Amino acid sequence: TEYLRRAKAHNGELNAFITFDEDKTLAEAKAADALRAAGNAGALTGIPLAHKDIFCQEGWHTTCGSRMLENFIAPYSAHVVEQCRKAGLVTLGRTNMDEFAMGSSNENSFYGVVKNPWDKLAVPGGSSGGSAAAVAARLAPIATATDTGGSIRQPAAFCGVTGIKPTYGVVSRFGMIAYASSLDQGGPIGKSAEDCAMLLNVMAGFDERDATSVQRDKEDYTRDLNQPLKGLKVGLPKEYFAEGLDAEVASAIDAAIAEYKKLGAEVVEISLPNTRMAIPSYYVIAPAEASSNLSRFDGVRYGHRAAEYDGLTEMYEKTRAEGFGWEVKRRILTGTYVLSHGYYDAYYLQAQKVRRLLAEDFQRGLAQCDVIAAPVAPTAAWNIGEKSDDPVAMYLEDIYTLGVNLAGLPGLSHPVGFAKNGRPIGMQLIGNYFAEAKLLNAAHQFQ
């Protein structure tokens, strides 16, 4: 209750949460007590957590940041939500996000922008800006989030907290509202790598209801946290430290690399030559998949429906015109275009080929090192409103995070310092498939 009181009291300043439901939170807390009384408590039983508003949660408003789902109450829970519940975690509330997870600043939310707790003029990053801001402001100890092109790592960096996007398939997408299904992946945001490891232990796991869920033995992501880093080979991709990277971000990362060397790491330069093609490839594939996934929001099955209309076609048109925001419409149009007859080969197929090249780049790079160290974003958090009228400027901010999703690799972001204006700077660690424990180990030793 103390957490809930604090979260509610401070949410007015930050807008990190879209929904609170005190009765439900208290009921979950009681269930956690019962779990403990029965001797079945786990490491996180009774710990409050915030869920990104993209994970369906039975009986809770689940909006995905959209007007389309303003009055939608989920009839079932996502696998991630079920797992958290079984572990005795207690839902504090549902966090704000860019509409349907499309954005890098949280300015695309129908429920208003989230403020960065370090500087209320700054964006918190996106799309999981609410989760990152809630953890940074200590309104929630941990939060769930999702990452399709950087939405865990970039807001974690902008808010000075830690987040990890696991290997594609580690966390079930069942009940996680789909944006771009071949890229979407859930993961934790916490104040430290250790907290993320503990929450990932709960979130990860095979689930037959997600056809891309990976069937492998349950892993304990905390097991390697205390391994010494002696001999760890850290690769620095030269294309990531080139033109476009802000000098303050570069020097914060240099200092962090020096720290990693002190911890025993060796540094090698590597090359990811196709890096500059990540943005065009992602911004074809993601909208293509989105245009297909979002066709279900038609006013018939669930969600918003226009109040007045003349016939079915007009009902669709009005519903979608009212229910979706501008960025979502832009992506549906782009996606439909690149998939249409005559353009499919020129855009969508090309983008898929580039995707393969990017994945191959990473395999060559990771053959020379254990982990890749990189920036998360070219700059620290920008001002609210600064880029919101310029979608291309916003897309360019995703240059260092998109490749990881296109390749399906795990990526972690941890804080390494501050810009002169006091805004946090993060660093990214990228590993090979299923190397989550290694990334968490490195970040934990650094922290």
Q: Which residues are catalytic?
A: 52, 127, 151
**Footprint of ligand GLN on 247-286 (CB under 6 A):** 286
Give SS3 for 146. Answer: strand
In angstroms, give the least distance from the CB of 206 to ligand GLN.
Answer: 23
Question: Any idea of the CA torsion for 39, 40, 44, 46, to the nearest 10 degrees?
Answer: -60
Among 19, 106, 151, 291, binds ligand GLN (CB under 6 A): 151
In angstroms, give the least distance from the CB of 18 to ligand GLN.
Answer: 16
Nearest-CA neighbor of 440 among 183, 214, 165? 165
In angstroms, give the least distance from the CB of 37 to ligand GLN.
Answer: 39
Pick the closer one to ligand GLN by CB: 63 or 127: 127
Nearest-CA neighbor of 391 among 287, 292, 244? 287
Contacts of the segment 56-60: beta carbons below 8 A, 24+ positions apart: 56/81, 56/175, 56/176, 56/177, 57/81, 57/91, 57/94, 59/24, 60/19, 60/21, 60/24, 60/91, 60/94
**Footprint of ligand GLN on 156-185 (CB under 6 A):** 179
Q: Say whether residue 407 binds ligand GLN (CB under 6 A).
A: no
- Cα–Cα distance measured from residue 199 to residue 205, given in angstroms and rounded to the nearest whole number: 12
- Cα–Cα distance measured from residue 5 to residue 419, given in angstroms and rounded to the nearest whole number: 32
Number of residues that bind ligand GLN (CB under 6 A): 13
In angstroms, give the least distance from the CB of 395 to ligand GLN.
Answer: 7
Cβ neighbours around 99 below 10 Å, total? 29
Among 77, 96, 148, 428, binds ligand GLN (CB under 6 A): 148
Pick the closer one to ligand GLN by CB: 77 or 104: 104
Q: Say whether residue 107 binds ligand GLN (CB under 6 A).
A: no
Q: Say whether residue 288 binds ligand GLN (CB under 6 A).
A: no
| N-terminal to C-terminal alpha carbon distance within the chain | 30
Q: CB-hemisphere CA count at 13 Å for 340?
A: 6
Q: Say whether residue 189 binds ligand GLN (CB under 6 A).
A: no
Pick the closer one to ligand GLN by CB: 44 or 80: 80
Q: Say whether residue 53 binds ligand GLN (CB under 6 A).
A: no
Q: Say whether residue 149 binds ligand GLN (CB under 6 A).
A: yes
Among 28, 53, 207, 398, binds ligand GLN (CB under 6 A): 398
Q: Say whether residue 289 binds ligand GLN (CB under 6 A).
A: no
Pick the closer one to ligand GLN by CB: 320 or 331: 331
Q: Say whether residue 103 binds ligand GLN (CB under 6 A).
A: yes
By CB under 6 A, which span of 65-73, 143-151, 411-419, 426-434 interacts with ligand GLN? 143-151
Pick the closer one to ligand GLN by CB: 102 or 142: 102
Pick the closer one to ligand GLN by CB: 318 or 331: 331
User: Residue 90 has what DSSP assignment?
Assistant: E
Q: CB-hemisphere CA count at 13 Å for 129?
A: 37
Pick the closer one to ligand GLN by CB: 103 or 237: 103
Is residue 297 a contact partner of residue 303, using CB atoms and an 8 Å limit?
Answer: yes
Q: What is 222-242 written as a DSSP string?
A: TTTTT---TT-EEEEEGGGGS
Q: Which residues pair with residue 373 across a beta bridge?
A: 429
**Footprint of ligand GLN on 29-48 (CB under 6 A):** none
In angstroms, give the least distance from the CB of 17 to ligand GLN.
Answer: 19
The binding track of 72-101 with respect to ligand GLN, each residue x by CB under 6 A or -, is -----------------------------x
DSSP 3-state helix, strand, coil percentages of the chain (rounded to 5)?
40, 15, 45
In angstroms, give the least distance from the CB of 179 to ligand GLN.
Answer: 6
Is residue 98 a contact partner of residue 77, using CB atoms and an 8 Å limit?
Answer: no
Nearest-CA neighbor of 241 among 283, 269, 277? 269
Pick the closer one to ligand GLN by CB: 104 or 281: 104
Q: Say whether residue 125 binds ligand GLN (CB under 6 A).
A: no
- Cα–Cα distance measured from residue 325 to residue 109, given in angstroms and rounded to the nearest whole number: 8
At residue 415, φ and ψ (nearest 5 deg) are -70, 140
Pick the closer one to ligand GLN by CB: 141 or 149: 149
Cα Rg for the chain, rounded, in angstroms?
A: 21
In angstroms, give the least distance from the CB of 431 to ligand GLN.
Answer: 18
Among 44, 102, 193, 270, binds ligand GLN (CB under 6 A): 102
In angstroms, give the least distance from the CB of 148 to ligand GLN.
Answer: 4
Q: Which amino acid is at 272?
A: L
Among 53, 119, 147, 207, binds ligand GLN (CB under 6 A): 147
* Interacting residues toward ligand GLN by CB under 6 A: 101-104, 127, 147-151, 179, 286, 398
